[in-house]
Amino acid sequence: MTYLRRSNVQAKKNRNLSILVIMGVVLLFAVHVAFPNFYAGLISPIASIAWKSESSVLGGFSRLGSLVRSKYALLIENGRLEREIESRDTGALLLESLRRENEELKALLGREHSGKDVLGLVLSRPPLTFYDTLIIDIGSSDGIVAGDKVYAGGTVLLGDVSEVFGATARVSLFSTPGRIVPVVFGSSTVQAQATGRGGGNFEARLPVDIEIRKGDSITFPHIRSHVFGIVEEIIVDSTDSLQTILFKAPVNMHELRFVEVETGSSQR
Amino acid sequence: MRIFFNILLVVSALFFPWWATGVFMIAACSFVPRFYEVVIYGIAIDALYSSSYGFHGFSWVWSAYASAVLLAAHFLRSRLSW
């Protein structure tokens, strides 16, 4: 009996195609390694168009949602917000006068911050980004350079600009997992290294004898008045001479819509 | 199926949380034979979102993940039939 041999032409074709594709992928990797910003420069403008259109669509939907909410619910919310504003007014006045005094003293000593803040719309934020980065809609055309400090609400220091493109920029948050930043605890001069844990969370290790309380504010060694984090948890182990301080930024990274970029802060 | 997963991954990389993109990559490699594009998406996500600080200093998480998923799917598909 005669058997026909199975043709291996198709298998050869598949193997050749696979080798070709693998070589292509390796080439892509090589370009990415050699020129880290090459693909980002190509993709960012296209992606920013998609993000901007998404922002406007979502904004439209949220406005539509507020239109159909009942008047009674709005009245209740209005009352609650008015009471909240009243309770915060006194503290805010004091804070504002202290902030002004602080700026005046720095100006008197020739250390005022001369840069200006540029408002940026957040196009992409965690958890969309795995790397704890923000993509903002301002770039080199707005005078942004790599290293500029980025704030939320003008007072909460979030991170710095890591890459700048024409109309967009990438912000690396200080809470990027594994990123080590110097921090100052409370009103003291105790300085330590804090390690980012992602999503605005940090961890720092300090000797047990240094008294730190929950709610203490934490700053970054920078001339501009700001808040960096608030102590959330203190873990003390009786067998360890160091205490672990867990703190987080006082803003929710997942809800950030706008940030301010302090231009010229990269040189200071 | 291939086109559907390509569109899904582009949309997911731009608008969905990172873990959803991770799940879609596994699904794409499981259902589509030789879904090499997944590596391109991995590189694109790294190019788009990664900074010099990376994730604990490693800036190639998505490229590595996509390659691993592709290899794992290829290995499993050759040993399973459905």
Task: For residue A225, give the CATH number of its domain.
Answer: 2.40.10.350
pLDDT for res A5: 64
Contact A118/A141 with Cβ under 8 angstroms?
no
Which whole number is the average pLDDT over B6-27? 93
- Which of A39, A131, A133 faces B43 most closely, judged by CB atoms? A39
Hey, are the CB atoms on B52 and A127 less than 8 Å from each other?
Answer: no
Hey, are the CB atoms on B15 and A50 less than 8 Å from each other?
Answer: yes
Compare A259 and A265 and report the one with higher pLDDT: A259
Structural domain boundaries, residue A27: 12-67
Interface contacts (A, B; CB < 8 Å): 89
What is the complex's ipTM, to 2 decimals?
0.83
Hey, are the CB atoms on B52 and A43 less than 8 Å from each other?
Answer: no
Instruction: Please report residues of A whose CB lies closer than 8 A to that of B67.
Output: 25
Choose among A172, A168, A143, A145: nearest CA to A159.
A172
Which whole number is the average pLDDT over B56-82? 86
Q: Biggest alpha carbon distance in chain B?
A: 42
Whether residue A115 is contained in a domain is answered as no
Hey, are the CB atoms on B53 and A176 less than 8 Å from each other?
Answer: yes
Taking the C-alpha atoms of residue A40 and residue B46, their distance in angstroms, rounded to an integer, is 8
pLDDT over threshold 90, residue B7 = yes
- A106-122 pLDDT, tens digit per residue, is 777 777 666 788 999 99
Whether residue A214 is contained in a domain is answered as yes
Hey, are the CB atoms on A162 and B53 less than 8 Å from each other?
Answer: yes
Contact A147/A266 with Cβ under 8 angstroms?
yes
- A54-109 pLDDT, tens digit per residue, is 766 665 555 666 666 677 888 888 888 888 887 777 667 777 777 777 777 877 77
Chain centroid, CA A243 distance in Å: 27
Name the band, by pLDDT with cuts 50, 70 and 90, for residue A150: very high
Which residues have a Cβ under 8 Å from the Cβ of A69 and sit 6 or more positions away?
none
pLDDT over threshold 90, residue A171 = yes
Which residues have a Cβ under 8 Å from the Cβ of B71 and sit 6 or more positions away?
none
Name the minimum distance, in Å, from the CA of B4 to any CA of chain A: 19
Helix (H, G, I), strand (E, B) or coil at A209: coil
Name the band, by pLDDT with cuts 50, 70 and 90, for residue B21: very high
Percent of chain A at pLDDT above 70?
Answer: 88
pLDDT for res A267: 59
The answer to which of A97-111, A224-238, B8-22, B60-74 has the lowest mean pLDDT is A97-111
Whether residue A109 is contained in a domain is answered as no
Name the band, by pLDDT with cuts 50, 70 and 90, for residue A172: very high
Which H or E element spans position B11? Answer: helix B2-15
Name the minimum distance, in Å, from the CA of A42 to any CA of chain B: 9
Instruction: Please report residues of B whose CB lies closer than 8 A to that of A47.
Output: 14, 48
Whether residue A207 is contained in a domain is answered as yes
Which residues have a Cβ under 8 Å from the Cβ of A226 and sit 6 or more positions away?
A151, A155, A156, A157, A219, A220
- pTM to 2 decimals? 0.75
Whether residue A44 is contained in a domain is answered as yes
Which amino acid is residue B25, in one-letter code?
A: M
Whether residue A168 is contained in a domain is answered as no
Whether residue A193 is contained in a domain is answered as yes
**Closest-approach residue (CA) in chain B for A45:** B48
**Closest-approach residue (CA) in chain B for A31:** B43
Q: What's the total number of domains in chain A?
A: 2
Taking the C-alpha atoms of residue A173 and residue A224, their distance in angstroms, rounded to an integer, is 18
Percent of chain B at pLDDT above 70?
Answer: 98
Whether residue A187 is contained in a domain is answered as yes
Taking the C-alpha atoms of residue A140 and residue A165, their distance in angstroms, rounded to an integer, is 6
For A121-133, b/e burial (b = at least 16 CB within 10 A) is ebbbbbebbbbbb
- Which of B18, B48, B53 faces A40 most closely, judged by CB atoms? B48
Name the band, by pLDDT with cuts 50, 70 and 90, for residue B28: very high
Q: List the structure tokens of A243.
A: 């205490």
pLDDT over threshold 90, residue A195 = yes
Q: List the structure tokens of B74.
A: 């290829």
